[in-house]
Amino acid sequence: MISAITFYLFSAITLLSAIMVITAKNPVHSVLFLILAFFNAAGLFVLLGAEFIAMILVIVYVGAVAVLFLFVVMMLDISFGDLRKGAMQYVPVGLLAGGILLFELISVFAVWQFAKSSETNIASPTPDPKEITNTEALGQILYTDYVFAFQVSGLILLVAMIGAIVLTHRKRPGVRKQNVADQQARTQSDAMEIQKVTPGTGI
Amino acid sequence: METLTFSSLAPIFPELFLACSGLLLLVIGVLRGNVSTRFISWASIIALLIAITIMLGQGTEGESTAILNGMFIQNNFTTFMKFLVLSGLIATIALSIQYLYDDNIIKFEYPLLVLFAGIGMMIMVSANDMLSLYVGLELQSLSLYVLAAIKRDNVRSAESGMKYFVLGAISSGMLLFGISLIYGFTGSTNFEIIGTTLANELSLGAVIGFVFILAALAFKISAVPFHMWTPDVYEGAPTSVTTLFALVPKVAAFALIIRLLFIPFAALSDQWFEIMWFLSMASMTVGAFAALRQTNIKRLMAYSSIGNVGYALIGIVAGGEAGIASVLVYLALYMVMTAGVFGIILSMRRDGHGVENISDLSGLSQNSPWLAYTLALLMFSMSGIPPLAGFFSKFIVFEAAIQSGLYFLAVFGVLTSVVGAYYYLRVIKVMFFDEPVEKFDARTELPRKIIVGLSLAVVVLFILNPSPLIDISALAVSDLF
């Protein structure tokens, strides 16, 4: 009974805040609603017994991604009003495509059935959560059975990093940078010139 | 669970080697900066050559070896396709080194991104599990998005990268959605297990999931109606990147589609037959008619590649060993011809700037006859005029179609290739019969000459001994069935 109430509470708030994300006028409010949606989704995962994913959602999405969004929204001077101007003309087409997709999905899930052999096909069935924690269960298969996908994901992240640097890093000429080695290597003779000043003549 | 030993990883050695050398070269590049671009390009070519040697040295006794929990497979088919991919990459890098300097894209990351895209393509070819399929595809696509936008201060390059990225992200989303439906129905991501499960029972959900996967992959090979991005990306990206797009990724995507259609989704052949039939028809039509009005030679090659995808798809529709073998021959010869054509497009420079309009070729036969005759032969071959190689590749595909009783598709293919011949021949007409304009810059460096020369040699001399390629592709296909 209590779990049902919490489920409906979490999912209702998730849905409402998701709607607010795309309708809020102020982009900062959008990001804040996004964070609320993430927290509630994490709550739903906890109800499902997937505490690891719930915590990851809070740490990664709320802690990093959403804060990054907030930075972008606040630091960059993007006029969201201008961006939104042209968007309305695509709404009918978008609704049409979305509606067709929704109809198709409903018709698929209405007659959904699992293959009879799907029970035996499962390569790594979910273990009993009473005997093993989420994190341990994930660790046992992530670095053994799925090590290949894991390593290639690492390569993908490397390429993403290279790409971000290639496309955004610029060398700005004329910027004064601190160079510790140069500072340390500086001697008295580099920086100062000692001149004998004879009285009455100046330099 | 099997224990993992180093020797059991033998089938994946080429990829491991490429990944390690990529990382090493990355460190060298970071330490030495962009002055090392030329060194890293040549080092990447050498790494790719060594990877080919490792791969061919292993040899397979006509058996599939699946390793890493069944995620990665090696057999004659994958070796053949990876050989095509690797040699295409070598040709691309060799063609583009001088272009990078001419066009001021001196970035050491360029050859490395090509290398990482290559690893992704090899993983796609060898994928035996939905997970490895997805990670391979993403590794490839992500590198290609960055490459398309690498000339970031050029508006068209940035636009093409952005367009490719957004549409590619949508197709990845469709792919994942399809995979999740298939996984939901069968309870497995492994190709063989999916195949046996679907052979026993089918449901609407699995079919829809399969259609989503197919749509995403049709986007990758730019089959109509998923071709919208191709002309814009081909035109906007730097020409050396366009060369890469035209040569290699489609080979890997074709390998993936062939393996998907005949291993996990063999039971759905009634469904995919109609889809592939339509994709093939539509691609041939759009490729032939939309190219007629193009004035930019890169856009022309984009539509030409769409049309050629249609012809290659005929072989898949025909199915069976003969059909798939004809696809492999078609892809190999198409790659050779395209490498030659792009070698020449890369040399189209005037006053230090690249030019890419067909009208810029006017009177080329008087300004630089060698270039003109080479391009003319390649264009004759692309339009399928005997006795050049392009005729044989089309002939083999149409023959496979007729043997499978697909008379309509074969006749339609012949008709569209007649339409297509018009725009290839128009290039020749412009070169030989129009008033000469200013000369191109004369300098063409050796690697580009070698690649174009090799391409021309294959195109002209293929008629003398066509059997090795045909035999090898027949051998490669025998592992599939």
> For B334-353, what is each residue's pLDDT tens digit?
999 999 999 999 888 888 78
CB atoms within 10 A of CB A78: 11
CB atoms within 10 A of CB A108: 17
pLDDT at site A15 = 95
Q: Would the CB atoms of B189 and A123 count as touching at under 8 Å? A: yes
Report whether pLDDT(B144) > 60. yes
Q: What is the DSSP letter of B65?
A: E
Q: Do A108 and B205 touch (CB under 8 A)?
A: yes
Residues in chain A closer than 8 A to B132 (CB atoms): 148-149, 152
- The residue among A77 and B26 whose pLDDT is bigger is B26
Please tell me the distance from the alpha carbon of residue B308 to that of residue B202, in angstroms, as a whole number: 33
Q: Is the pLDDT of residue A69 over 60?
A: yes
Quick one: pLDDT at residue A121? 81
Contact B112 A109 (CB under 8 A): no
Tokens (6 digits) for B341: 């054509």
B74 beta partners? B65
Q: Which residue has the tokens 């919490």?
A: A6
Least confident residue range of A78-87, A123-132, A181-190, B434-443: A78-87
Name the more confident of B381 and A189.
B381
Higher pLDDT, B133 or A200: B133
For residue B226, what is the DSSP state? S
- Kindly provide the b/e burial profile for residues A144-175, where b requires at least 16 CB atoms within 10 angstroms of the residue's own CB: ebbebbeebbebbebbbebbeebeeeeeeeee
Would you list the DSSP string of B300-349? HHHHHHHHHHHHHHHHHHH-HHHHHHHHHHHHHHHHHHHHHHHHHHHT-E
Distance from the B241 Cα atom to the nearest Cα atom in chain A, whole angstroms? 15
Instruction: Tell me the two tokens of residue A160.
Output: 């993403």
Name the residue among A104, A147, A160 with its Cβ closest to that of B208: A104
User: DSSP 3-state helix, strand, coil percentages of chain B (rounded to 5)?
Assistant: 80, 5, 20
B23, burial (CB in 10 Å: exposed 0-12, middle 13-18, buried 19+): middle
- pLDDT for res B60: 61
Q: What is the ipTM of this complex?
A: 0.91
B240 pLDDT band (50/70/90 cuts)?
A: very high
Output the CA torsion sign for A148, A149, A151, A156.
Answer: positive
Residue among B328, B333, B325 nearest B403 (CA): B325
Cα B285 from Cα B287, distance rounded (Å): 5
Please name the helix (run of DSSP H) or strand (run of DSSP E) that holds residue B435, with its range, or none.
none
Query: What's the confidence (pLDDT) of residue B61?
Result: 62
Q: Cβ atoms within 10 A of the Cβ of B46, count? A: 12
Please name the residue that has the structure tokens 């392009």.
B390
CA distances from B270 to B169, B277, B287 (A): 29, 11, 26
CB of A97 less than 8 A from some CB of B: no
Integer angstrom CA distances of residue A15 from A1, A18, B217: 21, 5, 32
B9-66 pLDDT per residue, tens: 888 899 999 999 999 999 999 999 888 999 999 999 999 999 999 998 886 666 778 8
Which residue, B299, B325, B296, is CA-closest to B312? B325
In terms of Cβ atoms closer than 10 Å to its own Cβ (0-12, 13-18, 19+), residue B162 is middle
* Per-residue pLDDT tens digits for B173-227: 999 999 999 998 888 899 999 998 888 888 888 888 999 999 999 999 999 889 8
Residue B135 has its nearest CB partner, among A109, A118, A156, at A156
Location of structure tokens 């799907």:
A118
Query: Among A126-140, B77-91, B283-297, where is mean pLDDT lowest?
Result: A126-140
Question: Rounded CA gap, B108 and B36, in Å?
Answer: 6
Kindly report, residue by residue over A20-60, the tens digit of the pLDDT. Answer: 998 888 888 888 999 999 999 999 999 988 889 999 999 99
pLDDT tens readout for residues B89-127: 999 999 989 888 888 888 999 999 999 999 999 999 999
Give CB contacts under 8 A, 24+ apart, made by B68-71.
B68/A147, B68/A148, B68/B4, B68/B9, B68/B12, B69/A123, B69/A145, B69/A146, B69/A148, B69/B1, B69/B2, B69/B129, B70/B128, B70/B129, B70/B190, B70/B192, B71/A146, B71/A148, B71/A149, B71/B127, B71/B128, B71/B129, B71/B131, B71/B132
CA atoms within a 13 Å half-sphere pointing along the CA-CB vector of B44: 36
Judge: B26–A113 Cβ closer than 8 Å, yes or no: no
The DSSP code sequence of B339-404 is HHHHHHHHT-EETTEE--BGGGGTTHHHH-HHHHHHHHHHHHHHTT-TTSHHHHHHHHHHHHHHHT
Per residue in B309-335, pLDDT (tens digit) is 999 999 999 988 889 999 999 999 999
Residue A45 phi, psi dihedral angles, 5° rounding:
-65, -40
C-alpha span between A104 and B33 (Å, rounded): 53
The pTM score is 0.89
Read off the DSSP letter of residue A126: P
The DSSP 8-state label assigned to residue B187 in this structure reads S
With 80 as the cut, is the pLDDT of residue A79 above it? no
Q: What is the rounded average pLDDT for all residues in chain B? A: 90
Other beta carbons within 10 angstroms of residue B275's beta carbon come to 18
pLDDT greater at residue B355 or residue B14? B14
To the nearest whole Å, the CA of B271 is away from the closest chain A CA by 16
- Phi, psi for B66 (deg, rounded to 5): -105, 130
Contacts for B121-124: CB closer than 8 Å, 24+ residues apart:
B121/B85, B121/B248, B121/B249, B121/B251, B121/B252, B122/B14, B122/B15, B122/B18, B122/B82, B122/B85, B122/B86, B122/B252, B123/A152, B123/B15, B123/B72, B124/B252, B124/B253, B124/B255, B124/B256
Residue B189: list chain A partners with CB under 8 A: 123
Say which range, A188-197, B21-30, B85-94, B368-377, has the weakest mean pLDDT: A188-197
At residue B444, does pLDDT exceed 80?
no
Q: Which of B112, B245, B163 is nearest to A161 (CA)?
A: B112
As a whole number of angstroms, the distance between CA A107 and CA B296 comes to 46
User: B204, A148: Cβ pair inside 8 Å?
Assistant: no
Buried b (16+ CB within 10 A) or exposed e, B342-366: bbbbbbbbeeeebbbbbebbbbbbe
Tokens of A45: 């995962």
For the segment A146-165, the average pLDDT, to the nearest whole number, is 93
Closest to B182 (Cα-Cα) out of B218, B208, B215: B208
Q: Is B369 on the interface with A (CB under 8 A)?
A: no
Q: Is B72 helix (H, G, I), strand (E, B) or coil?
A: strand
Mutation pick from B201, B210, B241, B268 vs chain A, by most beta carbons of A within 10 Å, is B201
